[in-house]
Amino acid sequence: MYILDGYRPDDVTELWAIEQECFPRGLRWNAKQFKGVLKSSLVWVAYEGPFNYYPVGFLVSWVDRGTPHIASIGVRKAHRGQGIATRLIQKAEEFYGREHDAINLNVRAENPAQQLYFRLGYRPCGFRKGILKMQKDLSPREGR
């Protein structure tokens, strides 16, 4: 059972461990940057339950020049493939969709995560230096 909630400062050590497990050195923030990013961003955390509620995944986001941006998402290897990232992304979309028409993210061209983003409705809108920019329309439509 997984519960999604906001980030709590007590989680910082666990979240840093997840960041290290998910991203190789060179593609991740260092510990100091990561702590700063957590403080200045909107972060959702997936907790494993029902007893201990320890963090197993996170999504970091912010608004960049008026458009919400998913800056990072990571899930512990042992907990992948169970829809945690999907739920984290849907949570961010639900939140930002109240006031914004679109949300975007960047993914490395070789990262299979783009299959997930495509399935959730993200579409390529730019490509630069091996990084694919993807965007999803959040504007309400009739019948939605």
Q: Taking the complex as a whole, how short is the minimal distance between the CB of residue 20 and ligand COA, in angstroms?
A: 11
Judged by beta carbon, residue 27 or residue 99, the one nearer ligand COA is 27
Q: Taking the complex as a whole, how short is the minimal distance between the CB of residue 7 and ligand COA, in angstroms?
A: 16
Strands 67-75 and 102-108: what pairing?
parallel
Judged by beta carbon, residue 26 or residue 81, the one nearer ligand COA is 81
Please state, in angstroms and rounded to a whole number, the distance separating the CA atoms of residues 141 and 3: 29
Can you give the binding site for ligand COA, defined by CB under 6 A? 22-23, 73-75, 80-86, 107, 111-113, 115-116
Judged by beta carbon, residue 104 or residue 111, the one nearer ligand COA is 111
Burial (CB count within 10 angstroms: exposed 0-12, middle 13-18, buried 19+), residue 100: middle
Q: Taking the complex as a whole, how short is the minimal distance between the CB of residue 79 and ligand COA, in angstroms?
A: 7
93's CB contacts (< 8 A; 6+ apart) are: 103, 136, 138
